[in-house]
Structure 1
C-alpha cells in the first residue's frame, strides 16, 4: 500500500489532498509502469500528432506503454513513424462501440500499474505523464486530472509537434493565445484545486485522467451503454468508491477542435441527461418526475428482520417506500431459507415467518432480500440502517440526508429509545474507509469520522413529535445544491429553478395526509400513492 496512512501522513479529509506533497517535476525517480490507453475512431492525422507528443515525454520509456484502441476505423488505423517505443494498436472487440467500449478494451490488456486515458485528439506537453503519475506514487486511491485548452486544428506536422514538445513548449506548435479555456479549469481554480469541492467528480472529464489499474477495475470500468457523458458517470462511481480527485495544471494539453457543447449545445445536453438521470442519483435536477423508478436509487434502507413478524416488516417497508424521498430501495437482511422441492411441514415450518416474508416481497423490485449487509451500497450514495420496530417517519430520510449534506458528514447516528440507533452513511465515506484498510464496524466508523465526520443526534430531530405513523406520497423529495453551486443545502424547501448542472434542490413535499386508522388502510394508502 502507498496510501497516505501507510506512509505516515494524516488522512485526507473529504477531497483536501493537502497532506500529499508531490515531488517537483524532474526531481524524482519514477518506478510505476504507466499504460496510456488511447481510444480512437478514425482521425489518423490527429492520432499521429498525439503519438508524436507522447514520444517526447519526460517519463522513462521503459515504464511507458501506449495502447491505441481502434474503434472501427475505416480504413484501419496504423502506427506512424514517430511514436513511443512500446506502442501498439489493438482492435476493439466486436459487439460494442464508442469511447467507453474502447477504453475498457485497452484497460483489459494494459500491463501498467497506472492507467492513463488520453483521447486521440489531445496533444500533451512534455511533462504531462510525469505530472500525473507522481501523485500515484504517493497515494494509491488518487484520480489525477490533467489540464486542457481547446484550439482549432492548425496545419502542423507530427515532426513539428515532436520537436516543439521535446523542446518544452506546446506554444512552439500551437497558437495558445487563441485557445479556448476549459470551463472545468475555471471550476478547479474557484474551488482551490478541488480541495474545497463537495462533488469533485463533476469536473473529472475523460480526455486526460489517470488512476491505479486496480481502482479502474474495482468500479467496473466505463459503462458502454452511455454514449455521451460516460466520463462523468464513471467519475461518479469512482467518487462512491472513495477516491481523491487531484487536478494537476502542470499536465498541460491542447484539445484539437472545439468542444461538442459549443457546436450543438442543446442536443449535447439532451443526449446526456437521461443517461445521467438513471445512473447519477445526486443529479436531483434530472429526477423531477414524481413516482418514477430509476436504475440507481438515491437511498438504500436496511432492516434486519430475523425474528420480526410479517406485519411489522410490512409496516416498516411501507414507511420507507412512501416517505418524502421517492427513489428508495429496501434491503431486508435475514437467514433466508433456500427454496427446496423436498417435502416439509407447511404449518410447522421453523422458517415459517421468513418464508411468508420472502413470498410477500419477492416480486417487488424495490425490495431486496439479502443474507448479509454489503460493505458498501455503491453506486447508491446513501444507506440508512435502523430497527424494523422504529420505521422512518414520512420525512426522516429527507431530514437525515439534508443534515449529512449540509454538514458534509460521512455518518449520522440518531439515538433511539432502548439503546437502539438509526444510522445514515455516505457511501463515498465508506468507500474511503475500505481503501484505507478499515474493517469491522468500529474501525470503519473511526475512519469515516477522520475523513468525513460523524455526528450523533437525538431522535426528535428526525422523528418530529406527532408525525409517527403518518404517510406521505412518494415524490422525489427536496434536493440540495449540486457541484455547480458548491454551497450548503438550504434549510427551507424551494421549488427547483431552471439552472443547469447538479442543482440538488428539492420540490416542496406538501402536507402529510391524515393518518389511516387501520393497518390495512395504511398499506392500501401507501400502495395507491406509489
Structure 2
C-alpha cells in the first residue's frame, strides 16, 4: 500500500466513487498516523465504561492512539474507569455552550492526532474498528470514513466481559444477533454500492463513528455549536462542500447500546427541530425551503460580479437583475476596490470611489448583497457559484435552469457562452473545492473538475426561457431523458430514505430494491 506522503499526487476520485483507493487487508499493513478518538459524553457512566473497554482491545497500535472524553456537564461528573486505553483523559466542556457539537469542538481543540475519530459514548466497537477506518486515512487526506452500527437492547455487561470478548474477536457472545436492529442507513449504503453511486453521501454520515484527517477538519472549522440537533448532518454537509469523499467500511462494526428512540410526539418534535436547523444551513435540502419569501442563512447560489472600473448604473442594474430572477434564494458578492472608501476620504463625483460609494449606499442594508476586495476561493458552504461580467447579468431564469441542468447531469462546471462574447461560469462548490485540493501547480482547475465531476459548455440562450408551468396530469408529456455528459454513469434508483440530488425526497413509485437472500445467522463481529 502506498501511503500519502505529500509527494505522490492525490487520487482523482469522480463524484463519490472511491474505487481508485485500495485499502490494505486488516492486519496486513503497518499504521503510521497518530489518532485522537474524541468521545462527547453527558452522563451514562456505565455505557462509557463499556465503550472504553472495547477501545482498550483495538488492533490499531495503542501507542498511536489517544482517547479524549469530553464531559458535557454530567451530574455527577464522569470518571475514568480502570479498564481503558492507556492514553485516555477527561476534559470538561467549556462554558458558553452545550451539546455534542460543543463537546466535540472542545475535544478537537486539545487533540494531537493526525486522524480525528468521533465516537459516541454508548458504542461497543469490534477490535478492528479503528484499524478498518484509519487504513483509508493512510491512502489520502480527503476521505471521511464511516463505521457501521446496529442497535441492541441494553443488558447487564461488565467492562471485563466487553474487553475479553472484543479482544478474542468474538463479541457475538455479548449480543444475540437475532435481536439486533439495523440502522436506517445500512440499506442505503448497500443499495448505492457502498455510497459509490450516491449523489449526496453526506446524508448517511450521521456521526456515531466517523473519522477524518485533521487538515480537512480544520478547513471546515469544526462543528456549528448553534446546531444542537442534526449537527452531524450539517457538519457532513460542510465536509461535502469542501470536496470530501465519504467511505463506509463494513469491517468497522459496532453495537449501539440502546434501541432507537421511539417516534411519538417527542420524536416528531426533535425531527422538527433538526429540519429547522438544516433548512437554514443545508441549501440542497430544497424540500425544507418551501417558503419563497424567506431569507436563509446559507443561500443556494452565490453570484459574483467584479465591479472594478464599472459605473454605478451598470452595477445596480446587474444586482437588480439577479434579485429579480426566478431563483430568489441567492446572494450577490460585488468584488472590487472597496478600500477606496476607507479612511473618511471625500469622493469626487466622476471618480471610481464615488460610484462605489453610491452602490454601497444603495445595497449596504440588503443582507443579500456583500462587498469584498476579492472572492473567496470557493463559495462554501453555498453549494453553487455563478461568476459573470458585471455588464452581462444572468437572464431571469438562467440560474434556476442552469442549476437544474447541473444537478440532472451531475456536472461540476457549466461554462455559459454569452451572446455578446465572453463566458460566465456556474460551478458546483464541492467540485471547485476538490479541484483546488487536487490540482498540480499551474494546472487549470477546470481540467481537474472535468475528471472529478464533468464540465459542459452551453449557450446562454439554452437557459433563458422561464421554466414552463407544470402540466396537468391528463396532458403530461412523457419525460425526456436528462442530458448526460459523455463520461456520466447510468442513473441509480433512489429509495425512500435517500434524498435526490436536489434534496427532494425520492418518489414513492421508484422501484424498490429486492431483498437479499437471508444469510446464515452468525455473530455480529464474527469473521466470515
- CA distance in structure 2 between the partners assigned to 1:211 and 1:416 by the alignment: 41
Q: Map 1:110-509 onto structure 2 (within 5 A).
A: 110-260=111-261, 262=263, 264-340=266-342, 344=346, 346-347=348-349, 349-438=351-440, 443-464=444-465, 502=499, 504=502
Flag the 1:192–1:108 CA change in 2: closer, same or farther, 3 A. same
More displaced 10-residue stretch of structure 1: 262-271 or 34-43 = 262-271
- Structure 2 SS opposite 1:35: strand
- CA distance in structure 1 between the partners assigned to 2:331 and 2:281 by the alignment: 14
- CA distance in structure 2 between the partners assigned to 1:211 and 1:219 by the alignment: 12
1:168-209 C-alpha deviation (Å, 9 max, x unpaired): 022111122201001111100010000000000000011000
What residue in structure 1 maps to residue 507 of structure 2? none
- CA distance in structure 1 between the partners assigned to 2:56 and 2:350 by the alignment: 75
More displaced 10-residue stretch of structure 1: 315-324 or 16-25 = 315-324
- Structure 1 SS opposite 2:178: helix
Q: Tell me if structure 2 keeps the 8 A contact 1:219–1:241.
A: yes
What residue in structure 1 maps to residue 14 of structure 2? 13
> What's the offset of the Cα at 1:352?
2.0
- CA distance in structure 1 between the partners assigned to 2:171 and 2:234 by the alignment: 31
TM-score (norm 1): 0.86
Q: Tell me if structure 2 keeps the 8 A contact 1:402–1:489.
A: no
- CA distance in structure 2 between the partners assigned to 1:15 and 1:505 by the alignment: 17
- CA distance in structure 1 between the partners assigned to 2:342 and 2:399 by the alignment: 37
- Structure 1 SS opposite 2:235: helix
Q: Tell me if structure 2 keeps the 8 A contact 1:380–1:427.
A: yes
1:32-55 C-alpha deviation (Å, 9 max, x unpaired): 011100110000000000000000
> What's the offset of the Cα at 1:254?
0.3
Flag the 1:215–1:102 CA change in 2: closer, same or farther, 3 A. same
What residue in structure 2 maps to residue 51 of structure 1? 52
Establish whether residue 86 from structure 1 lines up as the match of residue 87 from structure 2: yes
TM-score (norm 2): 0.86
> What's the offset of the Cα at 1:10?
4.8
- Structure 1 SS opposite 2:415: strand
| 5+ long unaligned stretches in structure 2 | 471-479, 484-495, 505-528
RMSD across aligned positions (CA): 2.3
- CA distance in structure 1 between the partners assigned to 2:398 and 2:202 by the alignment: 28
Flag the 1:275–1:86 CA change in 2: closer, same or farther, 3 A. same
Flag the 1:390–1:79 CA change in 2: closer, same or farther, 3 A. same
1:343-384 C-alpha deviation (Å, 9 max, x unpaired): 636335452222211222211111011111211010000000
Flag the 1:62–1:460 CA change in 2: closer, same or farther, 3 A. same
Q: Tell me if structure 2 keeps the 8 A contact 1:38–1:118.
A: yes
Flag the 1:500–1:310 CA change in 2: closer, same or farther, 3 A. farther
Q: Tell me if structure 1 keeps the 8 A contact 2:341–2:353.
A: no
- CA distance in structure 1 between the partners assigned to 2:217 and 2:387 by the alignment: 29
